[in-house]
Structure 1
Amino acid sequence: MQVFRYAAFTVDPVGGNPAGVVLDATGTDDATMLATAADIGYSETAFLVPLEEEDKGEFGIRYFSPRAEVSFCGHATIATAVAHAERHGVGTLRLRTKVGMVTVTTSTLEDGLVVATLVSVAPCSVPIPDLVLAELLAALRWSADELDPALPPRAAYGGAWHPIIAAASRERLADLDYDFSALAELMDREGWATIDLVQQESPTVYHARNPFPPGGVVEDPATGAAAAAFGGYLRELGMVAPPSDLTVLQGYDMGRPSIIKVSLPAEPGSGIAVSGSAVAL
């Protein structure tokens, strides 16, 4: 089993979100996948399994953090698609994830870099109960008056659940100092993958930070699944006029700048497209 290491949502190895990639995990059991992910130490490692009985563009895929299996991971999907394209050519992969079929298409830019675009499963969002929201804000050490009233707190889904919590100012977003144990316990109870902390710079540009204590990570530098969930949230609440393209800037406050492109189709309930480059580490 050969493991590759890529940084996703960046063109520079010092930026983006590192992911482990195994392009052929045929016959690998769960315990070995978990141990491999723990040994690599990145927030997630993706394990691709070619399906010989199906079309060659269809694969099974599993995602593991150092602590547990993850239902879906955007940045590891982008990294896997780029790694596969660099060895087998660009095209479209159909990935059987734990949450459903996800397609990811790769193309080559003029400078030779490969860009991957995944289309999420159908997104949705739901309100966060008041008591749970109060517990979340307490764990974040945020107050309700520091939130942006134009972007109401909701739990959003695009393959994994992420609460969307919008800061009223860039300064509030930049000051990340939360209770790791309390937030980890709350997220485990509620089934949340990361917390998507966002701040609107303009109608099409957003800053984001994503605490990820369930994976043993203080902060995720680029979270493709959260970007998909956020895009669905904006479309569902009528905060953008689709079709539209957005940019999510993540990782800048932790020194790993990442750029996530998000495209919102007009059709209600359709998957959200998330795009980015990836580079080998």
Structure 2
Amino acid sequence: MEILRYAAFTADPAGGNPAGVVLDATGVSDTEMLRVAANIGYSETAFLVPRGSGRFEVRYFSPKAEVPFCGHATIASAAAYAERHGPGVLHLDTRAGLVEVSTTVQSDGTTTATLISVAPRTRPIAASDLTALLEALGWAPGDLDATMPPRVAFAGAWHPIVATASRQRLANLDYDMNALSRLMARHDWTTVDLVCRESPHVFYARNPFPPGGVVEDPATGAAAAAFGGYLRELGLVTPPVTVTVHQGEDMGRPSVLKIGIPAQPRTGIAVTGTAVALAR
């Protein structure tokens, strides 16, 4: 199979979140997909099986396990396809549901992709789980932003969303990987979305990803989509609106994610970013 490598949510190969992409994984077994993803070593690799007329079945694997949906690998896959076949709209049958992703190519050659997530939803986080989460992170209740209550949010995968009022608290992330991994495994959480609000429509984020065998994701499209649903459901923004999330800066791989939040409740969230090919 041909294995491509792209960085998503950046136009600079030194930034963004690297993803593996296999545009034609016809006949590839689950075992082989997991082996390839582990060998590549990125947080996720997307395996596409063409079904005709711009429709694909897509599987996403981290180095340790399959995940139902991955935003940055979706952006990377769409960019890789557009560079070979031209921009347009793809329909992706993921384990989380149908995801539409469209691409455009700018005059400078930069490829931009926008995915529309499955319908988002949020639910409360149990007090005992929040306590355990904060302990694993090394955070205290006083570190939290009282205006953005903790929740667990979904837009293809489940992510706890925990906001701090301190940009320094976010920058000083140093968590207990084993403890957090055990907690996330019990609840089938994919990453933890740690956020800090800089202004009404600008946020910083960090995403620990121990279930995938990765300390941290530098850009997480699935969490961004879930976060967009969270902002709308809790009335923390006035849609329709676009917000910007800066992620990866504290780990040296700056990424920019644009989140389009429509006004209609329970409708999919748009996540937009650029992607660039990496050297083999």
User: TM exceeds 0.5?
Assistant: yes
Written as runs of structure 1 = structure 2, the 5 A alignment for 1:249-268 is 249-268=246-265
Alignment correspondent of 2:273? 276
Give how far 1:235 is off. Answer: 0.2
The C-alpha deviation readout for 1:80-127, integer Å capped at 9, x for no partner, is 000000000000000000011000000112322110000000001011
Alignment correspondent of 2:109? 112
Alignment correspondent of 1:19? 19
One-letter amino acid of the counterpart of residue 207, structure 2: N
Using the alignment, how far apart are the partners of 2:38 and 2:128 within structure 1?
34
The C-alpha deviation readout for 1:16-51, integer Å capped at 9, x for no partner, is 000000000000010000000000000000000001
5+ residue gaps, structure 1? none
Written as runs of structure 1 = structure 2, the 5 A alignment for 1:68-83 is 68-83=65-80
Using the alignment, how far apart are the partners of 1:111 and 1:243 within structure 2?
29
Verify: 1:4 aligned to 2:4, yes or no. yes
Alignment correspondent of 2:130? 133
One-letter amino acid of the counterpart of residue 42, structure 1: Y
SS of corresponding position for 2:203: strand
TM-score normalised per structure 1: 0.98
Alignment correspondent of 2:205? 208
Verify: 1:220 aligned to 2:217, yes or no. yes
SS of corresponding position for 1:277: strand
5+ residue gaps, structure 2? none
One-letter amino acid of the counterpart of residue 50, structure 1: P
Give how far 1:249 is off. Answer: 0.1
Written as runs of structure 1 = structure 2, the 5 A alignment for 1:6-155 is 6-52=6-52, 56-155=53-152
Using the alignment, how far apart are the partners of 2:277 and 2:55 within structure 1?
23
Using the alignment, how far apart are the partners of 2:173 and 2:154 within structure 1?
23
Verify: 1:246 aligned to 2:270, yes or no. no
Using the alignment, how far apart are the partners of 2:107 and 2:29 within structure 1?
40
Spell out structure 1 runs of 4+ moving beyond 3 A. none
One-letter amino acid of the counterpart of residue 195, structure 1: V
Give how far 1:224 is off. Answer: 0.2
TM-score normalised per structure 2: 0.99
The C-alpha deviation readout for 1:246-271, integer Å capped at 9, x for no partner, is 00000000000000000001110000
Using the alignment, how far apart are the partners of 1:245 and 1:61 within structure 2?
27
Give how far 1:195 is off. Answer: 0.3
Using the alignment, how far apart are the partners of 1:92 and 1:252 within structure 2?
30
Tell me how large the CA RMSD over aligned residues is.
Answer: 0.5
Match of 1:182 among 179, 183, 189: 179
The C-alpha deviation readout for 1:144-203, integer Å capped at 9, x for no partner, is 011000000000001000000001110000011100000000000011000000000000
Using the alignment, how far apart are the partners of 2:106 and 2:162 within structure 1?
35
SS of corresponding position for 1:18: strand
Using the alignment, how far apart are the partners of 1:111 and 1:190 within structure 2?
44
Q: How many matched pairs?
A: 278
One-letter amino acid of the counterpart of residue 239, structure 1: L
SS of corresponding position for 2:263: coil
SS of corresponding position for 2:49: strand
SS of corresponding position for 1:209: strand
Using the alignment, how far apart are the partners of 2:190 and 2:147 within structure 1?
24
Match of 1:167 among 153, 164, 169: 164
One-letter amino acid of the counterpart of residue 48, structure 1: L
